[in-house]
Structure 1
């Protein structure tokens, strides 16, 4: 059975119990997890697993197929079948959630204004980086991204609910712009997890998000770069 990702239903849950299903050195597979693996450009969660008073640092979480693999600071003494308790680093997770929802707002505005799609990106606790297939001159680029972020901050201030729900594949495919990543096929599976910012954006997405845009705080433009004729890059962060 693939790993059950508990944050699909509740991004705010910080602790959980899980059964160990596989161990390979310091790599641990669980039946379910709150740890978000590094995927979709979003950095992984960190935290700890505890078992019978012993504490193991979760240094990294990666996705292999449909499973999350937890990389610990050392080889564990617990065995397959044991129950462990997991705690995520909430400060790191919440920063990632805020930036992740911010990327959806900016991507939606860029799609509306320029018909631009995201061609790549990275979300860390410190900043987000997005690449767009935009054909803009270097002179126009900085202002274009600054204006998009100004518009995004107006959306943030409106305190719009961020809904998470599941749709059958055939229903989801009827939604315009359900996938805003260039050169990306619609996700597999008969049921998709949908993240909707009411009136702004609807996307198929598997990552953690805030429940209201106001939680994002202020989106701050850092810099922009031209990486080629149709590849424009923007860096931004959130504060506080």
Structure 2
């Protein structure tokens, strides 16, 4: 079970190993607080401890629908229990960026009907690409006014929550807005992340619980990518 989706602030977690590879450097676990990356959000920086030994998580892969954790050193074959740890400063930075991306894309959708086409969190910034409808392209996109609007939303302290819903309960607008069509039909339950009164998107990443936690940021780029598309880059202060 993905404990990081239940409590993104948890930094330590004891769990049991469900499988160990022949070289003893790859494991799967019963449940985890370690985010493996996806949807434009980087994986956590993390490590595990077992029987007094420290093992860095050096990578991730998937096998039979399960996340496989790659360890820096072989772990004893008889090990059954580990304690997971994450670098919370790094996790929290990504939580702030991820919620900021939702906030900006939610505002642009509500104001202009713009749809997010892609997003990513990089080492020193986050990137969002949006496409405006033919009849709602803003004539003058002023960076300072845009920044003031997003700052105001951040300072309102909007609650950020999540819930799991059956995909059949989503409306046609939800399907467009959340790109549920990209999620395999076999996935019947969808996790929706909501920003109070502003945004609702299907998402499997980690977020802050209140927009005030995003704190200060700057728009570092507002670039036209054709008449309808715009690339937006933002950096946390």
TM-score bracket for the superposition, by shorter chain length: 0.7 to 0.9
The two structures have a TM-score, normalised by structure 2, of 0.85
Provide, for residues 87-117 of structure 1, a one-character-per-residue CA deviation record: whole Å limited to 9, x for no partner.
0110000000011111111011111222221
Gaps of 5+ in 2: none
Write out aligned runs for 1:124-163 (5 A): 124=122, 126-134=124-132, 143-144=141-142, 147-163=145-161
Shift in Å, 1:145: 5.6
Gaps of 5+ in 1: none
Distance in 1 (alpha carbons) for counterparts of 2:145 and 2:184: 31
Shift in Å, 1:217: 0.2
SS of the residue 1:32 aligns to? coil
Q: Which residue of 1 aligns with 2:34?
A: 35
Over 3 Å counting, the alpha-carbon distance change for 1:234 and 1:146 in structure 2 is farther
Distance in 2 (alpha carbons) for counterparts of 1:41 and 1:56: 26
Matching residue within 59, 62, 84 for 2:82: 84
Number of aligned residue pairs: give it. Answer: 231
Shift in Å, 1:42: 0.6
**In the alignment, is the contact (CA less than 8 A) between 1:21 and 1:81 conserved in 2?**
no
SS of the residue 1:206 aligns to? coil
Shift in Å, 1:229: 5.0
Matching residue within 213, 216, 223 for 1:215: 213
Provide, for residues 214-240 of structure 1, a one-character-per-residue CA deviation record: whole Å limited to 9, x for no partner.
11102311113344454421110222x
1:48 partnered with 2:47: yes
Matching residue within 150, 163, 166 for 2:164: 166
Over 3 Å counting, the alpha-carbon distance change for 1:64 and 1:110 in structure 2 is farther
SS of the residue 1:35 aligns to? coil
Q: Which residue of 2 aligns with 1:106?
A: 104
**In the alignment, is the contact (CA less than 8 A) between 2:115 and 2:131 conserved in 1?**
yes
Over 3 Å counting, the alpha-carbon distance change for 1:133 and 1:65 in structure 2 is farther
SS of the residue 2:19 aligns to? strand
Distance in 1 (alpha carbons) for counterparts of 2:104 and 2:49: 39
Distance in 2 (alpha carbons) for counterparts of 1:105 and 1:229: 23
Distance in 2 (alpha carbons) for counterparts of 1:89 and 1:48: 9
Distance in 2 (alpha carbons) for counterparts of 1:230 and 1:222: 20
The two structures have a TM-score, normalised by structure 1, of 0.84
Write out aligned runs for 1:113-128 (5 A): 113-124=111-122, 126-128=124-126
